[in-house]
Structure 1
């Protein structure tokens, strides 16, 4: 059993698997292809990624891969907490340039599904945060792109409590949405 809840951009979903707990802790089936298909999510994941951030305020994103190597992402946190953000970058979409965010945490046990056509990023809310995410296509450096996390035309409301943010060189140099190669 899992709960699926659309976010502000209805294609972006919060997925919360059921947890079975007792005095020892809990058990949760974090991914089950059959249960996902029953919920209308029929994706084939081909790669798992694991990210560790030592400090709060590590910001990764906004990342995506262009077609034909675009990726759907199913993101969960196994330690700590993040604010996860998805930005619609499908030119011609009514949601183009709009964003949705969700706090994803090990404590909540929730996940976020970011579909193809959306840029993805997150910022760690606490120290020692680990994120694991599944993707539907392999990493392709030739199709890998990014958009500046603080693009005023997008206006993501990043949590200032963990600022200043720690960014990679790639993310510091990312173009603005208006200059980025996106989905047509």
Structure 2
């Protein structure tokens, strides 16, 4: 039977700063007798759980500096507990932030295809492999129209979360 993380979801809903998020994770870990890294690992492995709350209406995309600060705080906390998250740290951070409607900054697009990007932010519409993961159009650079596709997701330039292609 998997652990119920409703208390963490409820507490994260009220968190307004990165310090608040860190305190929620630290408190949750202490109450369960785990390190923060172990708790984050268990939450990430449990998969996304819809606890009946409506999707967070405001979407916030962090700046690269904010994302780096959050990453350093999380991995620093894990290191102090004797854990190294490695590459999984980015997944844990992305999942934790997405749970409260905060998302990683857009990556640099691959210039060999259309550079339009899209961030799926509706957890009810997209599965856990697409939700909160930046998507890039795989059509030819400079293709006609403002409709984009990458084989998994279709979007238009005017949709929330869309970044139109830059000129080829």
Same fold (TM over 0.5): no
Structure with greater helix share of residues: 2
Q: TM-score, normalised by structure 1?
A: 0.24
Which structure would you say has the larger Rg?
Answer: 2
Q: TM-score, normalised by structure 2?
A: 0.26
